[in-house]
Structure 1
Amino acid sequence: MTEGEGATEERPRLKEYEGEGITVTFEPRRCLHAAECVRGLPEVFDTARRPWVLPDAADPDRVAEVVRRCPSGALQYHHRPEDAVAEQPDSPTTVRRTPAGQLVVRGDLLVTGAHGDRHETRAMLCGCGASGNQPYCDHSGPCAEPDDDDVPEER
């Protein structure tokens, strides 16, 4: 299926937060509230503030490091200038199933969904089939269990 064919949902909404040395993007529907960002750099990521992301509040390399902790891939980044290298995928690619059944995938990924193919470096994919944001997990099925809110660090 190509983009636009058979797609009845609206395109994913992406918010962009530009800084001098780094731009952070956020896709709200993919956020699973692991809170790696707010724990890692509260001066940059503060959900009580608008805008909630201030990329210039810390060194761009540190911001990138914390964004890479986001297990769902809801947060992404690219360095400035625009032609600079974006996030590099993990190698080798890893797939880990959480106790609730989600698939935590990191690497050089091509994920096919309702809006066609997307190149990804991190994703949390639905393992139970209940997600309304397929193929990504949205905690609408068994994976919404409270004891699975924290995703363990990658090994």
Structure 2
Amino acid sequence: MTDVKDERAGDEQPKLKEYEGEGITVTFEPRRCLHAAECVRGLPQVFDLSRRPWILPDAAEPGQVEQVIRRCPSGALQYRHHPAEGPPEIPDAPTTVRRTPSGQLVLRGDLLVTGPYGDRHETRVTLCGCGASENQPYCDHSGPCAEPDDDVAEER
């Protein structure tokens, strides 16, 4: 695992952690994680919070890791295949936008998100709808949108 810079500039640049496997590399941006737990429920042998490092990409087939990461609603988890192993994450088409009962905006598709550190190309994000997030434009559950069951997998 390594810490790498993301494409944002500035003094308070978020950390992006990288977990390299043989066929797939998983990246994790802690500030964007909303603890939906899709990863730990989906592949506990890969994603285990009681272990360090908590992500072991080689503990499952790259295709399985990819499928579980695509369930992450916030986009805190991302992946990239090693060049010969497969394509980058393909955005959902058409792009979808859903408002949760507490106001978060859950988007999936080919997205360009503009924030204080510049533009980022995204495929999955949960954006703040209440204005209280300290990680704008992303939701960080610091305001009224901190309802625990807003992001139930069965409702997506």
Query: What's the secondary structure of 1:56's corresponding residue?
Result: helix
Query: What's the secondary structure of 1:148's corresponding residue?
Result: coil
Distance 2:68 2:36 in 1: 12
| Unpaired segments ≥5 residues, structure 1 | none
Matched, 1:115 2:117: yes
Contact 2:94 2:109 in 1 (8 A): yes
The alpha-carbon deviation at position 81 of structure 1 amounts to: 2.5
Distance 2:86 2:15 in 1: 24
Instruction: Supply the AA of the counterpart residue of 1:99.
Output: P
> How many residues were matched structurally?
149
Aligned to 2:138: 136
Task: Give the TM-score normalised by the residue count of structure 2.
Answer: 0.90
Distance 1:55 1:147 in 2: 28
Give the 4+ runs in structure 1 shifted more than 4 A: none
Larger RCO (alpha carbons 8 Å, 6+ apart): 1
The alpha-carbon deviation at position 149 of structure 1 amounts to: 5.3
Task: Give the TM-score normalised by the residue count of structure 1.
Answer: 0.90
Q: Alpha-carbon deviations, 1:39-78, whole Å to 9, x = none?
A: 0000000000000000000000000000000000000000
Distance 1:77 1:42 in 2: 17
| Unpaired segments ≥5 residues, structure 2 | 1-7
CA 1:152/1:97 → structure 2, altered by over 3 Å: closer, same or farther? farther
Identity in percent: 76
The alpha-carbon deviation at position 12 of structure 1 amounts to: 1.6
The alpha-carbon deviation at position 10 of structure 1 amounts to: 1.2
Instruction: Supply the AA of the counterpart residue of 1:148.
Output: D
Instruction: Supply the AA of the counterpart residue of 2:28.
Output: F
Distance 2:62 2:85 in 1: 16
